[in-house]
Structure 1
Amino acid sequence: MLKAILKLLIGDNGASSDGAAAVKVKSEGGLQDLEHFVDYVVRALVDAPDAVRISSESTEEAYVIKIDCKKEDIGKIVGRRGKTIMAIRSLVSGAAGRLQKRVTVEVVD
């Protein structure tokens, strides 16, 4: 999973014979990889990883990944002055940009 995120951030040098089909498959798989990446990172940060729920929603403007967890763990996800959630958003946004998609990450209260 982390290798897939790194490929999205760094890029894949492999060429495909069918470019259009490869982009579509890569895009759908890439969005799921981003969702799994957020799930992995958030579960590593919180005290109650079993209570973490990651859901996604597609709107006209963007693909939204929503994080739902216990109230006690929200501070761990947000971090001091929001630095942790900003780092997660930055990584997800950068990887999504390589897919030519807009993805946002939200913490549900």
Structure 2
Amino acid sequence: MLTQAVEHLVRNIVDFPDDVSVRSHENARGELLRVRVNPEDIGRIIGRSGRTANALRTVVQALSDHDVRVDIMDVRH
């Protein structure tokens, strides 16, 4: 559910919604959500001074009952 919610939020922010993918990974530190977007949308998803990325992380923590990290990457990685 969390990955679908993040994907929905991100798709509505970016200019290239078809390039958005969100994958969940478990590691020693908890859950990690990897958000991939088109390279042209990196600035839009991070926002001025990281405000959009921080807001996205705040929403994820509010929706989750455990620690979740969010990494934002472009599709080249």
Normalising by the residue count of structure 1, what TM-score does the alignment of the two structures yield? Answer: 0.64
Q: Deviations over 1:17-74 (max 9, x none)?
A: xxxxxxxxxxxxxxxx211111001000111100111111101211000111111001
In the other structure, the counterpart of 1:46 is 14
Q: What displacement does 1:94 show?
A: 2.4
In the other structure, the counterpart of 1:67 is 35
> Which residues in structure 2 correspond to 1:20-31 (within 5 Å)?
none
Q: What displacement does 1:87 show?
A: 0.4
> Aligned match of 1:107 in 62, 66, 72?
72
Structure 2, unmatched stretches of 5+, are none
After TM superposition, which residue ranges in structure 1, 4 or more long, deviate above 3 angstroms?
none
How many pairs does the alignment contain? 74
Larger relative CO (CA 8 A, sep 6+): 1 or 2? 2
- What is the letter of the counterpart of residue 72 of structure 2? V
Structure exhibiting the larger radius of gyration computed from Cα positions: 1
Name the structure where strand makes up a greater proportion of residues.
2
Name the structure where helix makes up a greater proportion of residues.
1
